[in-house]
Amino acid sequence: MTDTQRYITVDDVSFGYEANQLTLDSISLIIGRGEFVAVIGPSGCGKSTLLRLLAGLVEPTRGKLTVDGQPICGPGLDRAVVFQDYSLFPWMTCRDNIVLALEQAKLGANKTERRQIALDFLSLVGLAQDGDKLPGQLSGGMRQRTAIARALAINAPILLMDEPFGALDEITRARQQDLLLDLWQGGQGDEKAGKTVFFVTHDVEEAVILGDRVMVMGTRPGRLVRDIQVTLPRPRTRMGSLQHPNFSPLRDLLLNELNLVVDELLLPGSSHGAHI
């Protein structure tokens, strides 16, 4: 493999929150530059933990993680993180949240310029009018768009997203997926703007709609069980993907994998009702 194909590497990583606990068990994973990787798995299998390892918020008990050849030691502004419904400080307006991130990333020459950049990115996600609002004054979908605007504004080459649309209603979620597809695909092809995305979700359709690859995680201990290429053409739209003949087989394949994972947890023979 060339170096661009080995952009993010996770090499035999294990992790436990407590001393003799195994939350993640020897995870190995390679992500190429500009790749969109979706991760699914039953609740509690360690998806967020893996993302926190990549973010540098926690350190592995064993193994090694690297970005662009450099070991990950601590959080960095090269990796923008979007959490589920809580990426913003509630005491700052949406714009100020982004301005603070820009300040930290040393982008924009002065306050005025940073405010302008913040507004530009808010417009990009359709929130041009809402910069002066507090996160608490926005709907869940608007908050997540602000968080995405912030992640894009600091221009990090890597986006780590932990169920960013998990708390949204169906219609809002569908719109956010299309928006994310637009924004991400808009940057691809451009060597500098193209972003590498690690996207955690518990929604199989979302994983297929968005990802180039879908990783399926198993539980107890958390591990990778399958790595499936999504054979849908780019650029995609949500609708286009749903209607593509490859969509259903992929979804069924993934659902089946998840069922197998969940079945291992249940008593033998109770393969029904395995819900993710």
Ligand X SMILES: Nc1ncnc2c1ncn2[C@@H]1O[C@H](COP(=O)(O)OP(=O)(O)O)[C@@H](O)[C@H]1O
Q: What residue ranges bind Mg ion (CB under 5 A)?
A: 48
One of 116, 137, 243, 248 touching another protein (CB under 8 A): 137
Q: What CA–CA distance (Å, rounded) separates 229 from 156?
A: 25
**What b/e string do you get for 227-251 counting C-beta neighbours within 10 Å, with b at 16 or more?**
ebebebeeebebeebbeeeebeebb
Residues in the chain: 276
> Which of Mg ion, ligand X, another protein, none does 128 bind, CB closer than 5 to 8 A by kind?
none
Q: First vs last Cα of the chain: how many Å apart?
A: 35
Q: Give the footprint of ligand X on residues 17-76 (CB under 6 A).
A: 17, 23, 41, 43-49
Shortest Å, Cβ 8 to ligand X: 18
Strands 196-200, 158-162: pairing is parallel
Mark the segment that binds another protein (CB under 8 A) among 97-105, 125-133, 166-174, 243-251.
Answer: 97-105
The stretches of the chain forming alpha helices (DSSP H) are: 47-55, 94-104, 111-124, 140-153, 170-187, 204-210, 238-243, 247-263
Q: What CA–CA distance (Å, rounded) separates 55 from 216?
A: 20
Specify whether the CB–CB gap between 152 and 117 falls below 8 A: no
> Which of Mg ion, another protein, ligand X, none does 137 bind, CB closer than 5 to 8 A by kind?
another protein
Shortest Å, Cβ 215 to ligand X: 12
Q: Give the footprint of another protein on residues 66-95 (CB under 8 A).
A: 74-77, 79-81, 83, 86-92
> Which of another protein, Mg ion, ligand X, none does 233 bind, CB closer than 5 to 8 A by kind?
none
- Written as one string, the DSSP assignment of 117-149 is HHHHHHHHTT-GGGTTS-GGGS-HHHHHHHHHH
- Nearest residue to 166 (alpha-carbon basis) of 77, 49, 39: 39
Report which residue type is found at 100: L
Shortest Å, Cβ 23 to ligand X: 4
**Residue 108 contacts another protein per CB under 8 A:** no
Shortest Å, Cβ 163 to ligand X: 8
Shortest Å, Cβ 267 to ligand X: 20
**Residue 131 contacts ligand X per CB under 6 A:** no
Q: Give the footprint of ligand X on residues 7-26 (CB under 6 A).
A: 17, 23
**Residue 195 contacts ligand X per CB under 6 A:** no
> Which of another protein, Mg ion, ligand X, none does 45 bind, CB closer than 5 to 8 A by kind?
ligand X
The tokens of 33 are what? Answer: 């530059």
Which residues of this chain interact with another protein, rule CB under 8 A? 55, 57, 74-77, 79-81, 83, 86-92, 100-101, 104, 134, 136-137
